[in-house]
Amino acid sequence: MRRTVPILVIASLLGAACAGSESEAAPDTAVEDSVVTDETDTEAETDDTVDPADDDVALAPLPTSPDKPTDIAFPGEAPDKLEVSVLTDGEGPESELGDTVIVDYIGVRSLDGEEFDNSYDRGTPFAVGPLGSAQVIQGWNDGLLGVQAGAQIQLDIPSNLAYGEAARSEIIRENEPLTFVIDVRSIIKQADPADAPTEPGVEPSEGATELSFEDLVEGDGAVLEAGQTAVFNLVLFRADNGALLDSTWTTEPIQIPMTEGGFPALVQGMPGMSAGGRRAITSPPSLAFGDGGNPQIGLPADTDVVIVVDLLGAY
């Protein structure tokens, strides 16, 4: 999954949500190159800190403050196969090939429990996907299949499903088995662009003075609450004539925290949705792109917009 989204989303949605962030792409600025791919390049990696995902899979800097696991029951010996242990049950649909799984993690050596990396201290979860071909070690591609949102799992990974014979750092040595404890934040099902909305689905609007919304499809998943992070696709329409202006359906879902400082129409209009639902948010210019509109996408000045949101996950 690569963070390539329309200019609308980068400039106006993610820009507002991530204002003041130090990083927009890689959650760990101390690490320049990904090391948790199935390639072995010992000369490229000299830092002891290891990301379990390619830099490109991080969709945006996202706030999270979970409790970092401190008592890891590492095996103390090398596992001869991938061991997946469910420490805390999750709920909802299980992850499948092609899905994206958003996680927090801590990684330690299986033999002695020495930590080499974690996402909790960075406050930034990882988006790992699409499962089956994600740019992560094979132990992750295999071990994250069948997990549920809210679960905490432990992966004990033999070296041949991690980095094999090549050392990755002073901590991750050659033939090093690895153990990860992973908190599954959300399961993002692969979206079919053919399912994208082609019309606003609500009555035209001109001169709106306040936000309004209507649920076009009721979801059956987790309910998005204020302060959480939403993972979603959207299509933007002119509210007066229904003209389609922009969409994320042909690129990738985006993630935006539902917090003050984010894109107002979304932060005010999305909480209360359930994952799997579709909501049409009708917004006055003051809560969207301002009175000047957005000429780059064909939005004239003083024009209401309808944002049709499909909520894929929340955490």
Is the confidence at residue 2, as pLDDT, over 80? no
The residue type of 36 is V
Tokens matching residue 146: 């069948």
**Model pLDDT, residue 66:** 55
Tokens matching residue 83: 């061991």
**Model pLDDT, residue 28:** 31
CA nearest neighbour of 307 among 287, 315, 295: 287
The rounded distance, in Å, linking the Cα atoms of 95 and 154 is 16
Give the start-end residues of each E strand in the chain. Answer: 83-88, 100-109, 115-118, 126-128, 152-157, 178-188, 212-217, 229-238, 244-247, 254-257, 278-283, 305-314
CA nearest neighbour of 35 among 156, 130, 176: 176
Instruction: Point out the least confidently predicted range of 3-7, 119-123, 290-294.
Output: 3-7
Angle at 258 between CA 253 and CA 263, to 5 degrees: 75
Q: Which of the 8 DSSP states describes residue 225? A: -
Position 129 confidence tier, pLDDT thresholds 50, 70, 90: confident
CATH dotted code for 193-314: 3.10.50.40
pLDDT tens readout for residues 172-202:
999 999 999 999 998 988 888 999 999 999 9
Maximum CA pair distance of the chain?
68
The rounded distance, in Å, linking the Cα atoms of 315 and 311 is 12
Residue 143 phi/psi, 5° resolution? Answer: -75, -20
The residue type of 276 is G
Sequence-ordered list of residues with C-beta below 8 angstroms from that of 265, at least 6 positions apart, any chain:
211, 281, 283, 287, 288, 305, 307
Compute the 3-state secondary structure of the chain and give helix, strand, coil in percent, each to the nearest 5.
10, 25, 60
Question: Which CATH class name applies to 31-188?
Answer: alpha beta
The rounded distance, in Å, linking the Cα atoms of 70 and 72 is 6
Name the residue with higher pLDDT: 191 or 95.
Answer: 95
The rounded distance, in Å, linking the Cα atoms of 218 and 222 is 12
pLDDT tens readout for residues 239-258:
999 999 999 998 878 889 99
The rounded distance, in Å, linking the Cα atoms of 217 and 290 is 28
- Give this prediction's pTM: 0.71
Residue limits of CATH 3.10.50.40 in the chain: 31-188, 193-314
**Model pLDDT, residue 254:** 86
